[in-house]
Amino acid sequence: MKVPKKSIEDKLKKVYNKDMKIKGAIYGAWNDKNDPYQINRDKHAVKFYEAVRKRDRVLEVNVISKNTGFSKVDIEKIYNHIFITEHNLSGKMQRFTPDYNMAESWRRLREGKNIQEHDIILLQHELMESNLMTACKLSYFEAHNITQEKYNYQKALVKWLKEGGI
């Protein structure tokens, strides 16, 4: 009997969520008070990024496209940019360092629940940054700085956190 991919993904998600609940990280529970040195948030981000990479890419793209109204082509570019592609970062080809807040944004976008303004700004930011790097052959740092002028994820995130976002 052939097991549908979605069932496998649901099983992985349950295992991941169980692990995160045990450690207190699920659904944005880590903060500066209970994780002052960001150790647990960093561990959570690494696990989350690994889990995203193991998921069915087509399903991931389709779900986030449906939840956000972004095209599947754009979501796939964003997905690759954040999770797959190695970038020249300070002279070394590597993937982006997993980021807790981006992981939480991606989770909300994937679940289609409680999507925040900064979550959408994340998509806009990563898409523009990726396009500048590809079409204009800009370095990551050049593309990032230009993109920050229009889509500043960090600024929107800080605003949300100050307003009591979790």
Angle among Cα 125, 96, 120 to the nearest 5 degrees reads 25
pLDDT at 146: 98
Q: How far apart are alpha carbons 133 and 143 in whole angstroms? A: 6
Q: How far apart are alpha carbons 91 and 103 in whole angstroms? A: 25
Q: Is the pLDDT of residue 18 over 80?
A: no
Residue 54 domain boundaries: 5-162
pLDDT at 106: 98
Q: What is the mean pLDDT of the chain?
A: 87
Q: Is the pLDDT of residue 25 over 50?
A: no
Non-local CB neighbours of 144 within 8 Å, separated by 6+ positions? 129
- pLDDT tens per residue across span 56-76: 999 999 999 999 999 999 999
**What total number of domains does the chain contain?**
1
Q: Is the pLDDT of residue 92 over 50?
A: yes
48-56: average pLDDT: 97
Determine phi and psi for 92, rounding to 5 degrees.
-125, 130
3 state DSSP class of 65: helix
85-96: average pLDDT: 96
